[in-house]
Amino acid sequence: MMSQLSENQKGMIFALVGYSAFTFSDTAVKYIAPYYPPLQLVCIQTAIASLGILLSAKFLGGWTGGRNLREMKYHAIRALMNILVCILIFYSFTMLSLASIYAMIFTKPFFAAILAVIFYKERVNLPRWLAIVIGFIGVLVILQPGPDSFRPQLLVPLMAGFFLAIMFLTARSLKQASPFIICFYPILGTFILALPFAIFGTPDFHILLTTGEFNMAYSQPVQPQHIPFFMATALFATTGVLCVSLAFRVASAAQVAPFMYIEMVWGLIFGFFIFSDIPDVWMLVGTVVIIASGLYLILLERSKRPASAGPLESASAPSALSATTPPDTSAQQENGVRD
């Protein structure tokens, strides 16, 4: 059946499955997040996911560019950004709804556009600036920065969106790396960085942010009833990385990127039925503004770039592993990654 579909249709199916899988992974993590320190969760998830991604190497271009020493610093930066994103998101799972987290993470393309001006001297025309400004107005609608309504917890996933933007932009400098290398190195690097904290202890971020006191939180024995959740989060996250990476290999970024917003649909459904989360009107209004602005940025990219190439600046997802998906298909096509 898949053989009868066009490349863009295949890409859209891969994207739908991949972004949905990320949400399933996030739901499993959120369910067990209150029982374990964030870096213990990160360590276990990335350990299992690294093995899964390793088994997918042949589908994602193999080890091409993996030994390029000049690009190692960019892989290191991406690994550092990824573990920061993991910490912020996993901590967010303990105090915020999935939908609220997703809304803040969806600001990533706005941060990316601004950072691209600073670091890559990219020109941003008036329509793109307008989309960025309106997107951040949506953020303010959700934050409600008043003395009685402001929710500072929302700044945590918002910071994750900023670090995601840095991670995606850094990958522009990976000219030789295959999609597998772009995915695998940050996940493996995150595991290596998280492992010492999982063994010796990690700062208690909740106490640190609420009282300013520095205390250590130590890894807890994995409860038998939570083992299926650990396996599910790694399995779904690996499926998401593989499917989204394949989606951007076989289809244009402009066709694939809008499917990331399916995460909000799943987030609202799972949040309501599993966690009893009911979004307020301001959160829904702000989310609509953010998503509309993000889609407009995607349409602007589609109008100015060839259909076969383009940055994935609008492709983001809150899952810790979703940030590792390849951010640019054009450089990979030039180096023969696309078959």
pLDDT value at residue 276: 96
Nearest-CA neighbor of 82 among 171, 189, 201, 238?
A: 189
Kindly list the averaged pLDDT for each block of 10 residues, start to end, along the chain of length 339: 80 94 96 94 93 90 91 94 94 94 94 91 90 95 81 92 93 89 93 96 82 89 96 92 88 85 96 95 95 91 56 45 54 35
For Cα atoms 320, 31, 260, give the angle at the middle one, nearest 5 degrees: 40
CB 10 within 8 A of CB 243: no
The Cα 131–Cα 333 span in angstroms is 29
CB 104 within 8 A of CB 142: yes
CB 159 within 8 A of CB 90: no
pLDDT value at residue 75: 94
Residues spanned by the domain of 117:
2-334
- Residue 335 exposure: Cα atoms within 13 Å on the Cβ side: 17
pLDDT value at residue 214: 87
DSSP H or E segment with residue 217 = strand 216-217
Q: Which residues contact 216 (CB under 8 A, 6 or more apart)?
A: 201, 202, 203, 204
237 within a domain of the structure (yes/no) = yes
DSSP H or E segment with residue 2 = none
For Cα atoms 14, 17, 19, give the angle at the middle one, nearest 5 degrees: 100
Residue with tokens 């696309």: 338
Q: Give the DSSP letter of residue 321.
A: T
82 within a domain of the structure (yes/no) = yes
pLDDT value at residue 323: 57
Alpha helices, H only, the chain: 7-32, 38-55, 72-92, 98-105, 108-119, 126-143, 155-170, 179-200, 205-211, 227-250, 253-256, 262-273, 281-304, 330-334
239 within a domain of the structure (yes/no) = yes
Nearest-CA neighbor of 217 among 207, 227, 232?
A: 207
CA R_g for the chain: 19
pLDDT value at residue 304: 66
pLDDT value at residue 8: 85
pLDDT value at residue 131: 94
For residue 317 the two structure tokens come to: 């997802």
284 within a domain of the structure (yes/no) = yes
Task: Report pLDDT digits (tens) over 32-82.
Answer: 999 999 999 999 999 999 998 999 898 889 999 999 989 999 999 999 999
pLDDT value at residue 256: 87
pLDDT value at residue 144: 85
318 within a domain of the structure (yes/no) = yes
11 within a domain of the structure (yes/no) = yes
pTM across the whole model: 0.87
Domain count, the chain: 1
pLDDT value at residue 331: 35
339 within a domain of the structure (yes/no) = no
The Cα 237–Cα 235 span in angstroms is 6
